[in-house]
Each structure stands twice: as structure tokens, then as C-alpha cells.
Structure 1
Amino acid sequence: MANPDQTETAAPPRPELFDFHGVSMTHYFTDNWDNVQNFQAKPDDILIATYPKAGTTWVCHMLDLLYFGKSSPKRGDSLPIYERVPFLEIYIPVFAPGVELAEKMTTSPRLIKTHFPVQFVPKSFWEQKCRIVYVARNAKDNAVSYFHFDRMNNGQPESGDWPSFLQRFQEGKMAWGSWYDHVKGWWEKKQAYPKLLYLHYEDLAEDMDREMDRVCSFLGLCPTEEERHQVKEEVQFDAMKKNSMTNYSTFSVMDFKISPFMRKGKVGDWKNHFTVYQNEQFDKEYQKKMMNTTVRFRTEI
């Protein structure tokens, strides 16, 4: 007998990972490849780039409120975040393709999100010298958050149990590839591309005022004290978790009975998941893989 709580839209089958130009991907994010690569960026577009589960929705919501919260005060309560900030590469048959949503946008600037590693970003973003905000999260918390996300999201590969997931995370066998390659690739790009702001999840969690100053300075925004206060209130984790326009409860491929999309939002939750042995092994691998980069992360604040 059918469960009356289930939504009408049947969940799509779980995708399999495959190697795509040297990066693990799933077909939901490569099936529209040519259209994504040929996307025509505009000079005032702002691309929000992250590895999955690194604070994407947090920063998307913040930027949307900073730009449009004053002119459309109810926007954050009436339009889902995935319509306000289209997900460029998504191509799941039951939803409008991300490219199509982005092309139809009438707001200026257009805020667009991607999880692409830097080498997959459509070339028009570079040609138009678009501003890019990249958000990175420490590997341990990122792995934990990604694990719970894959458990509840039918648009993602099966998570398996925590030990096997952690092993795959270390090997880069995740949708959008290796965390290590992702954060390092974008960090290197930042050195050569001045219109890229590189944020850390831990810094946002530690001092939202300071990081909002950095964001506004980068984007040339001058919100009033009142506007800043409003944005700060609305981007608090608990406020976003309760808001159906930011918590993805309207997105039918996610099963909230398994885990909420917005789970804890804490720095250091990895300590509740890693065993002592897992932590030691992880640290050894981490040292090797992060040896030749200057980007640094904090695993607690």
C-alpha cells in the first residue's frame, strides 16, 4: 500500500558515478553538458561556486538578500532558493534545467550557483570577467555533511555506510570529484583571477559581520545598518532551517524522513562521526594531499 506521505512525483533512480574528463560525476550533471558549456554569461553575473555541502545555500541566500531583499522584501519567503539562484549544471528530468532557469532570469545581477571544479566552468564567465564567490569548508565537516546529504537525496549516488563513504571521499569518488582537487584548484585560480573572493565556512560561522563586510566590499555593496541586520537575522542557520524557501523541503528528490537538508551547520561536528583510527588515517592522507598548496583550513573554531 502506498505511503500517503509520499509526494506525487516519484523519485528518480539513484545515479551511478562515472569518470568524466577525469572527475567523478553523475549523468544528472553532465547530460546537458553542451548547453552548460555554451551558456552565455553577462558581465554583471555573479557565480557562487562550492564543493557540495560547503555553505552553498547559506551564501546564495545572503547574496540574494543583499541584492534584492530591499526591493522585494518577501522574495526570501516566497521564492525557493533554487529559483532565485539557479543551479547551472543540474539536469533532472522532473525539473527545469538549470541553464534554462538562468537564461530566463530578469534580475540584475543574475546570481548563479555551480559545484563545478574550476576547469569545468563555462568559458564565458572568464571572458566576461564575472565576479565569483567561492566557499570552502574543512574536509572533515564537509565529508560528514556530504554523507548525510547522500543518504537523503535520491538525486545522488547511494551513500553506503559511513566508513565506506569516508574511504570514497578520500579517494575523490564523489559527485564533482575530489574535495582536495576542488578547493586547491579554485585557490590557485584566485591567485591569477582578481575577481574571485575565496570564503571559508568556518570564518562565516565565527564572525558573520566580518565576512559580510568582505562580501560587500568585493561586490561594491553598501547596505544600511538596518539592511545588514535584516540579512544577518535571515541567514542564521535556525532561520534558514525553518524557512521552506531555503531548506529544500519543497524539492521532491530529498527524503526528509532520513535527514533534513539543513542538519546542524556546526563547525566540528566531525568529532561525532570520526573514530580515533579514522581521524589518524584521514590526517595522514590529508597531509600528503595538501602538501603543495597554501590554502589552510580550521577543523574547529
Structure 2
Amino acid sequence: MSRLDVTETFHGISLPGHLHTQDSLNYATQFQFKDSDTLIVSYPKSGTTWMQEMVTLIFSHGDPTPSQTLPNWARAPWLEQYYCPHVLSSSQGPRILTTHLPYHTLAPALRGSKAKVIYIARNPRDVAVSYYHFHNMAKFLPEPGSFEEFLSNFLNGKVHYGSWFDHVKGWTDPKKNIENFFFITYEEMCKDLQGSLQRVSGFLQCTLLEEEINCAQKQCSFNSMRDNTMVNYTLVSQEIMDHSCGKFMRKGKTGDWKNTLYEHQSHVFDAVYEAHMQDSHLRSTWTNTDV
């Protein structure tokens, strides 16, 4: 399935037709969650791959075999992508699922479920920079143009997967009806990976021994993931991801936006952020001084 130039529109957001169809998107909204499911939720380029590794390693009690032998999309398939039903048909044990969809699209399916939901969020300034670089290598995403143009589209929610602001506010709204919800930031994971693993394992009710935590921490370090073909997307053909234009695992740092945004762009970002986040309890989570 190529469809590299196809865009699907669903519930008001645009998505790449390469992996999404109307059927696959409807499948996601009508999905029958099991209470034993774990759903990883994020806006693109917010630490999704990292969390997939962490959850895989927690459930394997630090055994690196699954993360070294199965691509992450086979271990934690995207619920809204066309291949998900096929992967789940042969899955065993607790299911790990991934989604980039906004809350309102999955809320009906999650209502009444005891499935565990992990939401990972990242400083939107770093998201914008990382997402721009990803557009330059991912042939299933539109040409980004200049960074100035892309940043304007990002701030206005005119990029694939829609508005970052709407996404993070929708999933973190205290009034959402999710029984088992866990929130963590990319920055927390960078600052304290071991502590983050312990917190996530506690939420998943899968307690790890000290040696298991150490093994998991080593395997899901940035350097290990960057060199792991099951994680770094080098298994994907050049036609779909042109690795000569950049690496999927690029830097894995926080605050890299300061090396990209000019002062006037940073001021515009601050104004838009303030306008969108003034009614969110996450308003002060990311400031323009964050590194």
C-alpha cells in the first residue's frame, strides 16, 4: 500500500493516506478495547517510539528480545492504521496499542473501558522542529516548505494530525472520562529515565526488579534505540522514508528548538501558546525558557 500522495480527512483532521483509510479510521473509533489493553497516545514527534520501547520492556521484565526481534509497529500497532487488525489477530498476551488520534474520536470507544491509557506530551516548540525534519524524510507527508512556512501551519493546526494544542488539551482535560489515565512528559523521561520506567511500570501494575529496571533502561536509551533496526525505521524503504534526508532518531534532546527558532518566531510562538493554553492546567508546563 503506497498512496503516498493521498490525504485522508477524518473528523476534521488530515492524515496521510499511505497508512490510513476511511475504513481503518472507522475501525479505530469503533474498536472493542479489552480491560487488559494499554493504549499509548501522543501527538507525532512527542516520544511515541520511546514509550513503545518502555512499555515493551516493562511487559518483558527487561528482556530485550521482543524489542530486538520485532519492529515496534508489530509490537505496538497504531490503532488507526490499516494493518492493525492483522497484527492483533496473531497477538498474544496483553495488547499494546498506539494512536495519534485526538481524544474526541476515541472517547466513545474508551467509555466504560478499564484499558490503561498513557499520554506522552512534549514541549511544542521541540515538536514543531522535530516534525519539520520528519516531513523532509517522510515521503507520505506533504512537502513542508521553509521552516517559517511550516511553523505557521503548525501553529494554525494546518498540518497532518491537526492542532497540537487541541490534541494535548483534549486528552488532558480533567473532565475526560477515562478510568485509568497516566500522563508523562518527554522532558521528564529525559531528566529521569529510570524514575519514569518505575512510574510507568507501577501504573501498568507490572513491578520490575532492580536488575530488570536496569536492563530496560539500557535498552531504551536513545543510543540503543538509534542503533536498533526494530526501532529506527531503517527497515522502511527509501521510497517511503528517505534516510538520506535525515534520521528518524535525530537528536533525542530537549530544548533543541533554541537552535532553530529565530527571536521573532519564538515571540509569535509564545503569543499563540498563551492564547491556546490559557484555559489549560498545562499552561505553565512548557515555557519559552525550557531546555
Superposed pair shares fold, TM > 0.5 = yes
Which one-letter code corresponds to 1:298 in the other structure?
Answer: W
Map 1:61-80 → 2, pairs under 5 A: 61-69=53-61, 73-80=64-71
- SS of the residue 1:199 aligns to: strand
190-199 or 170-179: bigger deviation: 190-199
SS at 2:98 equivalent: strand
Deviation of 1:19 after TM superposition, in Å, equals 4.8
* Distance in structure 1 (CA, Å) of the matches to 2:44 and 2:281: 22
Q: Residues of 2 paired with 1:174 and 1:44: CA distance?
A: 33
Q: Match of 1:184? A: 169
Q: How does 1:115-126 map to 2 (within 5 A)?
A: 115-121=100-106, 123-126=108-111
Distance 1:147 1:127 in 2: 37
Following TM superposition, by how much is the alpha carbon of 1:26 offset from its aligned partner in structure 2, in angstroms?
A: 3.6
Q: Residues 43-83 of structure 1: CA distance to partner in whole angstroms, max 9, x if unpaired?
A: 1000000000000000111100110255x642211111111
Q: How does 1:233-244 map to 2 (within 5 A)?
A: 233-244=218-229
Secondary structure of 2:104 counterpart? helix
Assess if the C-alpha contact under 8 Å between 1:136 and 1:183 holds in 2: yes
- 1:45 aligned partner: 37
Deviations along 1:142-175, whole A, 9 cap, x unmatched? 0011111111111222222211100000000121
Q: CA deviation at 1:190?
A: 7.0
Identity over the aligned pairs, expressed in percent?
35
Conserved? CA contact 2:48–2:120, under 8 Å: yes
Q: 1:6 aligns to what?
A: none
Segments of structure 2 that go 5 or more residues without pairing to the other structure are: none
Q: Which moved more, 1:226-235 or 1:154-163?
A: 154-163
Amino acid at match of 1:46: T
Q: TM-score, normalised by structure 2?
A: 0.91
Quote the residue 2:77 is aligned against.
86
Name the residue aligned to 1:268. 255
RMSD, aligned α-carbons: 1.9
User: How much does 1:39 deviate?
Assistant: 2.3
Q: Does 1:298 align with 2:275?
A: no
Tell me what 1:288 maps to.
275
2:94 is equivalent to residue 104 of structure 1? no
Q: Structure 2: how far apart are the matches of 1:102 and 1:190? A: 31
> Is the alpha carbon distance of 1:289 and 1:122 closer, same or farther for their aligned partners in structure 2, counting shifts above 3 Å?
closer
Give per-residue Cα distances to partners, 1:101-122, cap 9 Å, x unaligned.
133312x210000001111126
Whether the 8 Å CA contact 2:61–2:208 is kept in 1: the answer is: no
Matches of 1:192 and 1:35 in 2, distance apart? 21
Q: Give the alignment partner of residue 144 of structure 2, picking from 131, 155, 159.
A: 159
Q: 1:121 to 1:148 in 2, by over 3 A?
A: same
Q: Does 1:136 align with 2:128?
A: no
Q: How many residues are aligned here?
A: 284
Structure 1, unaligned stretches of length 5 or more? 1-8, 92-96
The separation in 2 between residues aligned to 1:258 and 1:162, in whole angstroms, is 15
- 1:25 counterpart (8, 15, 36): 15
Q: Identify which range, 45-54 or 184-193, moves more after superposition.
A: 184-193
- One-letter amino acid of the counterpart of residue 263, structure 1: R
- TM-score normalised by length of structure 1: 0.88
The residue number in structure 2 matching 1:94 is none
**Would the aligned equivalents of 1:234 and 1:240 in 2 still touch at CA under 8 Å?**
yes
Q: State the Cα distance separating 1:209 from its structure 2 match.
A: 2.0
User: How many Å apart are 1:291 and its aligned residue?
Assistant: 0.8
> What is the CA deviation profile of residues 225-254 of structure 1, one whole-angstrom value per residue up to 9, with x for unaligned ones?
000000000111111001111111102221
